[in-house]
Chains A and B, each alone.
Chain A
Amino acid sequence: MKYYRGKNYVGLLYISPWIAGFLLFKLYPFVMSFIYSFTRFSILDKPVFIGLENYIYMFTKDKLFFPALKATLAYVFMTVPMKISFALFVAMLLNMKLRAINIFRTAYYLPSIFGGSVAVSVLWRFLFMKEGIVNKFLGLFGIKAVDWLGNPDIALFTVSLLAVWQFGSSMVIFLAGLKQIPNELYEAAIVDGASRIRKFFSITLPMISPVMFFNLVMQTINAFQEFTGPYVITGGGPMNATYVYSILVYDNAFRYFRMGYSSALSWVLFLLIMIFTALLFRSSSYWTYYEDGGK
């Protein structure tokens, strides 16, 4: 900046709280969790170096590791596509020039403000209990009561519906993206006689692909770490059907105080998230469209 000529280091002074915070609360724990992952460490004693033992144990002996991995992947593959397609669909409806759109936007966003709180998880438990009102509602149409939380084949789906219900912030981001698509593109398409479906695939989707990418990355990272929903609604059950990875990490760290082992677990999760994010980034050059060529 011209008007702060010569005071190059003033900026560093302003960002110094973040630098200190980054080193202490992000970088240090990040490095340490890698180091702890090669140790046996119960927090009371000093960590003991045991090489790859934690990782070997994880893949060969821990009976909960693969179920947790499976539950988490299933959760991610259910939640993210459902949430994103829902958010996009609703955002497109809201983007049509209609009156009172703010009221609808408010109503659709409202569930999202509770995030991953205990309160909505408790609510979910009440809604999907065997005698809960979801079954009462289905009963009106003659559908037999479903054991939403007790059936191991459905429980994870029920839990993931909670996250889908909270599609609000993705919706708002999509809506902002849709508003930026220049109208001329659609007008030109109408002149060319393009159908609705054609307009969606040839204009809407390419134009919002960067927003889609952002939503996908953030939602995937979040879904991999989901904890409160499965922990409060079903407690990981029935038969470990909702025992997601974060519960596995939590139990090992804070119930059994195996800090070394749970660090190893969290590194595997971290690598998994990185692989998925990297895949998204790699693939994005094929399906995202930037007007400025992505610079």
Chain B
Amino acid sequence: MNTVALHRKKVKMIRDGTTKALLYAFLVLFGIFMVYPLLWIIGASFKPNNEIFKTISIFPSKVVLDSYVKGWQGTGQYTFGTFMINSFKLVIPVIIFTIISSTLVAYGFARFNFPLKSFLFGLMIATLMLPDSVTLIPRYILFNNFGWVDSYLPFIVPALFASHSFFIFMMVQFLRGLPKELEESATIDGCNSFQTLIKILVPLCKPAIISMTIFQFIWTWNDFLNPLIYINSVNKYTVALGLRMSIDGTSVIHWNQIMAMTVIAMLPSIIIFFLAQKYFVEGIATTGLKG
């Protein structure tokens, strides 16, 4: 009896071991499958042009760097450097204003009572689900009347007015999770509500602010439709528009140059992702779940 039980246990352990090994094998294979396209394009950007579509290998037989040099120079009047600088000129103010405006608004929602509060909060949540496409055209006409087309103002000004409900919501959720004792003692010490926000809450909100920064960076950096609509002059093109121009413009296609610039366009997002992974996952999990 005893030996039988022992034997059974052994069999179970071996079976568990095999299941686990199989599971790991699957996870690894699947991981390779997921990341392979990205690794391939990075590899291909260093390959000589005639080698790119010959094999599915990631590694170039001979490393070529002029794909980056020539791709960066571009074919037209402007280098890819111009597009990079433009993207940063657009993205950085958008991020800064989003942080400031969303934090103020979230503070209002999370810590104060005022008339119509739940109605307004509901409205804010509802705009999360409002499809952008239905407001796109009149917003364009509005900005066109303001004379803002072909500038970055259609991106920057809405950020000043906390137009991304997602970030307000994320910040409200975060603030609700913070204990109120510190703020209460700050009030007793004579801080007004704004001082309390700046001195007590903002330092505590660092993780949420970092999440906001990376999400806003990635969304604005990768955005294509809005720059396509609002930016007309090539000297104001963002990376997305520049990249799109380079795939359409070249008649004799230098594959490796386009791939090199694709890699460059992806690089900022990749760097940010690896620097701040933790905040990514937390940001999605908190807002997604409690919704």
Residues in chain A within 8 A of chain B (CB atoms): 1, 3-4, 7-15, 17-22, 24-26, 28-30, 32-33, 36, 43, 90, 93-94, 96, 98, 103-111, 113-120, 122-123, 125-127, 129, 131-133, 136-137, 140, 165, 169, 172-173, 175-177, 180, 211, 214-215, 217-218, 221, 224-225, 227-228, 231-232, 246, 249-250, 253-254, 259, 262-263, 266-267, 269-270, 273, 277
Contact = CB atoms under 8 A, between A and B. Distances in A.
A110 B36 CA distance: 11
Nearest to B144: A43
A127 B38 CA distance: 10
Interface in B118-133: 120, 123-124, 127, 129-133
Nearest to B225: A227
B210 interface: no
| A interface SS class | helix
Contact of A116 (B26, B224, B243, B269): B224
B255 A126 contact: yes
Given A127-B37, A173-B285, A33 B135 contact: yes
B161 A24 contact: yes
A96 B16 CA distance: 13
Contact of B240 (A13, A32, A118): A118
A175 to B, nearest CB: 8
B235 interface: no
Given A14-B104, A33-B137, A96-B23, 17 more contacts: A10-B112, A14-B107, A17-B160, A18-B124, A20-B161, A25-B163, A93-B23, A98-B20, A107-B31, A108-B31, A117-B224, A120-B266, A123-B37, A133-B53, A136-B53, A259-B141, A277-B129
Given A36-B137, A228-B224, A169 B288 contact: yes
Interface in B162-176: 162-163, 168
A41 to B, nearest CB: 8
A176 B138 contact: no
A267 B134 CA distance: 6
A79 to B, nearest CB: 16
A18 B111 contact: no
A172 B281 contact: yes
B24 interface: yes
**What band does the interface of chain B fall in when counting residues whose beta carbon is under 8 Å from A?**
35 or more
B240 A117 contact: yes
Contacts of A106: 277
Contacts of A118: 222, 224, 240-241, 243-244, 265
A38 B270 CA distance: 45
B6 interface: no
A225 B132 contact: yes
B170 to A, nearest CB: 13
A132 B53 contact: yes
Nearest to B230: A254
Interface in B151-202: 158, 160-163, 168, 180, 183-184, 187, 193
A249 to B, nearest CB: 6
6 contacts: A10-B108, A18-B168, A25-B139, A33-B138, A113-B272, A250-B228
A132 B262 CA distance: 16
Contact of A15 (B120, B241, B243): B120
